[in-house]
Structure 1
Amino acid sequence: MADTTGNIRGGTGEDISQPRKSSWAYIGPGIVVAATGVGAGDLVATLIAGSNFGYTLLWAAVIGCLVKISLAEACGRWHLATGRTLFDGWQSLGRWTTVYFAIYVVIWGFVYGATAMSSSALPLVALFPEGPDLKVWAVAMGLVGLVFVWFNKYAVFEKLMTVLIGIMFVVVVYVAIRVTPNLGEAFTGLVPILPDGSLLYTLGLVGGVGGTITMAAYGYWVNAKGWTDTGWMKVMRLDNRVAYITTGVFVVAMLIVGAELLHTTGLALTQGGQGLIDLGTILEDRYGTATAKLFLVGFFATSFSSLVGVWHGVSLMFADFVGRLRGGARGGRDAAVAEVATGEREKSAPFRWYLLWLTFPPMVLLWLDRPFGLVVVYGVLGAFFMPFLAATLIWLLNSSRTPAEWRNGWLSNGMLAAAGLLFIVLCVQQVRELPW
């Protein structure tokens, strides 16, 4: 909260009144967005791409990181340059953005809650086969996430996410080294080539790994860290690059595992989180129980970090959304940004309402064997969100809403436009796959 001198203190408690030089000491929100954005489904999709095409699509993973760096940087730049939250910017574009976000955040949260809880439970069932069944573990993970986010502010949340991403990083890189990558062949994968039947896998690698709505949450985590003005711009940009370079390491490591362990042997994985259980079994057969157990721990860290990250980040966005509908302050330094930076939003009723929405209603889906209708709606809405994010960022960051010094240049406009087109293609493909 504000101190007696009027300086804002951020989520980590430091005095943020003075501009800072770019420094590794401040890294934090990027770690959070990286840990949240890479989930079990992303790892399976990358594994399957590697198993089907070897190293051929490595270049797509690199481009994907550049695309996500551009999108997240634009989100952070908006928050720092304008002193306004992203939803405040969306609201300035017209009422249609409010309608869209309201529908999206309710349906997406309902389905994602069940998905996140199930993904976090799967590795625990494999690690403790004599323990509770999947539904009990899933409910427990939802409740643990709820309690943790409910009672802790950003500083503690960031520390947990740092531990989880550390586990993810060590395990994934260890497994990639364990399968003995062919570095010569890997470097050839940096040459853009599209093998027959690889288009959708390529689009998935470029656009599907590293987060959807959690990318929009990045600006809120930047504010929660205590970064609220342009004095933190260089720090934010370094933080963002670290986030997606880390994500790139995950993607490349899993592609290596898919190429070396699956592609060369013709083994196949099932879709979804179950595919990582399959991989654990394969690793146990090849490298022993210890490696398999370690991988399952990494699988849990990957899934649970996504759960906790969404519970916190999207709840912050929802709290801002409700605050705007109630007529939040306008003009000058946005009161909503200050509330996020001082932790007031994390104690607000809307923040906690959405936490409850993510946790309890989705538990109903855990007792449904095949909730296809909602899964289809979730997939389509997810595909629609990223074009919305890219297009609105182009609009906001090229308009008078943004100070001239911080508006988009040609490179940022080009990357955001390319991202928007990419996600439109992915969106069309999702719609085509609907069971009309």
Structure 2
Amino acid sequence: MGDKVIQSGVSTKRDHTKWKLIGPGIVVAATGVGAGDLATSLVAGAEYGLAFLWAVVLGVIVKFALGEGVGRWHLASSQTMLEGWRSMGKWATGYFGVYSIIWGFVYGAAGTASSALAAHALFPQINLIWWAIINGVVCYILVLSGKYGFFEKVMTILVGVMFATVIGCMIFVLPDLLTHLNTLKPVLSENTIIYALGLSGGVGGSITMACYGYWLQEKNWSEKQHVKIMRWDSLSGYMITSIFAIGIMIMGTAVIYGTGLTMEGEDALITFSDQLASVLNPTAQILFLIGFWAASFTSILGVWNGVSYLFADFVRTTRQLNIDKKEISKTKSYKFYVFWLTFPPMILHLFGKPVVLIILYGFLGALFMPFLAVSLIVLLNSTRIEKSFQSGRLSNTVLSLSAILFIVLTCMELYGMIKDFL
């Protein structure tokens, strides 16, 4: 997103094949959108109608700026995000190392539990815990048994399933939306602004955004000449994310808004599917639940594959190991982290989540997105990359706004944690 137009080296003759080149962008966008994001958009539509449509669009713009920044750093500097953080000081990689271990343990349980909700609703004969374990083990097998190309195809197919089922259901409820078009007017107050910021910050944003460069590398996009096509790839992924999030909000508005039905948390998706069955038919409910499961499963599958790159690169970088970047997925540390995400968290399914660990998880997690935004501003304006690839006014403005957004959200989240603890 620099001021200058960067020549990618991709000829105009191949412009018509851009859609065939898309892959990592869809992967990172789909990974960032999990059950929590779906529930947030759905509840926003159910409670406020279309008043926060702008917040979803803003969130997608912010995430695109961050994703583009990660991709540009990898391609223009020929360094990974871990190498960039290492150059900022040992504190940066130290923070990530502690965070990745705690985050992986807790997310391994939370992510698979989310995907288990939809699977259990479709096949209630198997209980939630077993569905969570099954989803985790399937991710473990898919990641360790297949190469990136196979992983990308699986993710792309699941994104297609998400899109076809959820957007398909949305089309059938569009007539019910007509009576609620007046809700497009933004609701602005002290409380709703805070709510809107949370909605903007939550759509498709997580630690997985930092994985984008590794997926670009697996796609054999590793040179400066690939910056232009990387931008197209990232933009296409977040365009799909925005359409999906807006579609969910429209469904919440058309089916729930004004009915007085209360929905809360990820269970709201199950409540909504029941309501969808009565408004449309049981087939629509099944289709929505399939889309819900696909969204949840792509999120955890992307984490199993992508965050393991980050951890393995953390080990490589901090220990200064002589390992080719393209071989990171073959290292023992990569395989260890896939294992760490899958099996130790099963303990939490059986015995519950320890309070202290959850508090630390929340604290470190709240810091990550502002850490990513600020570090990108520093790295993309440094002399480590050529001036023509450094951030221009537009990029710096959007990245700065995103940093402010996430710092505000971090302060809010930490305040809430302290308040609850006391």
Q: TM-score with structure 1 length normalisation?
A: 0.89
User: Pick from 313, 324, 344: which aligns with 1:320?
Assistant: 313
- 1:37/1:397 Cα in 2 relative to 1: closer, same or farther (>3 Å)? same
Aligned pair 1:102/2:97, yes or no?
yes
Q: What per-residue deviation string (whole Å, max 9, x for no partner) do you get for residues 240-268 of structure 1?
A: 00011111011111111111211121211
Aligned position for 2:120: 125
Q: Contact between 2:70 and 2:213, CA under 8 Å: does it hold in 1?
A: yes
Q: Contact between 1:28 and 1:239, CA under 8 Å: does it hold in 2?
A: yes
Which ranges in structure 2 are unaligned for 5 or more consecutive residues?
1-7
Q: Contact between 2:180 and 2:254, CA under 8 Å: does it hold in 1?
A: no
* Counterpart mapping for 1:11-410 below 5 A: 19-21=9-11, 23-129=18-124, 131-180=125-174, 182=177, 186=181, 189=184, 193-195=187-189, 197-272=191-266, 274-328=267-321, 336=324, 339-340=325-326, 344-369=327-352, 371-410=354-393
Q: Contact between 1:58 and 1:186, CA under 8 Å: does it hold in 2?
A: no
Q: What per-residue deviation string (whole Å, max 9, x for no partner) do you get for residues 184-210 of structure 1?
A: 965973x65424632332012211110
Aligned position for 2:4: none
Which region of structure 1 is more displaced relative to structure 2, 40-49 or 195-204?
195-204
Q: Contact between 1:47 and 1:258, CA under 8 Å: does it hold in 2?
A: yes
Structure 1 stretches of at least 4 aligned residues deviating more than 6 Å after TM superposition: none
SS at 2:237 equivalent: helix
- Shift of residue 358, structure 1, vs aligned partner: 0.5
Identity of counterpart residues, as a percentage? 45
- Shift of residue 375, structure 1, vs aligned partner: 3.4
Q: What per-residue deviation string (whole Å, max 9, x for no partner) do you get for residues 138-168 of structure 1?
A: 1111111001101111100000000010011
- 1:368/1:38 Cα in 2 relative to 1: closer, same or farther (>3 Å)? same
- 1:418/1:183 Cα in 2 relative to 1: closer, same or farther (>3 Å)? farther
User: Pick from 374, 396, 403: which aligns with 1:420?
Assistant: 403
SS at 1:179 equivalent: helix
- Shift of residue 121, structure 1, vs aligned partner: 1.3
Q: What per-residue deviation string (whole Å, max 9, x for no partner) do you get for residues 332-381 of structure 1?
A: xxx74xx33xxx22211111010011011111110134654433333332
For residues 380 and 331 of structure 2, the distance between their equivalents in structure 1, rounded to whole angstroms, comes to 29
Partner letter of residue 98 of structure 2? Answer: I
SS at 2:345 equivalent: helix
Q: Contact between 1:82 and 1:402, CA under 8 Å: does it hold in 2?
A: yes
For residues 383 and 150 of structure 2, the distance between their equivalents in structure 1, rounded to whole angstroms, comes to 37
Q: Contact between 1:270 and 1:278, CA under 8 Å: does it hold in 2?
A: no
Greater share of residues in helix:
2
Which region of structure 1 is more displaced relative to structure 2, 280-289 or 407-416?
280-289
Q: What per-residue deviation string (whole Å, max 9, x for no partner) do you get for residues 13-47 of structure 1?
A: xxxxx943452221000110121110001100111
Aligned pair 1:433/2:391, yes or no?
no
For residues 126 and 179 of structure 2, the distance between their equivalents in structure 1, rounded to whole angstroms, comes to 45
SS at 1:182 equivalent: helix
For residues 376 and 47 of structure 1, the distance between their equivalents in structure 2, rounded to whole angstroms, comes to 27
Which region of structure 1 is more displaced relative to structure 2, 372-381 or 413-422?
372-381
For residues 347 and 110 of structure 1, the distance between their equivalents in structure 2, rounded to whole angstroms, comes to 21
* Aligned residue-pair number: 406
Cα RMSD (Å)? 1.8
Q: What per-residue deviation string (whole Å, max 9, x for no partner) do you get for residues 307-334 of structure 1?
A: 11000000011111111122146xxxxx
Q: Contact between 1:153 and 1:346, CA under 8 Å: does it hold in 2?
A: no
SS at 1:263 equivalent: coil
SS at 1:197 equivalent: helix
Partner letter of residue 297 of structure 1? Answer: I
Q: Contact between 2:206 and 2:369, CA under 8 Å: does it hold in 1?
A: yes
Partner letter of residue 379 of structure 1? Answer: G
Q: What per-residue deviation string (whole Å, max 9, x for no partner) do you get for residues 391-432 of structure 1?
A: 000000101111111000011011111101101111111111
- Shift of residue 117, structure 1, vs aligned partner: 1.0
Partner letter of residue 169 of structure 1? Answer: F
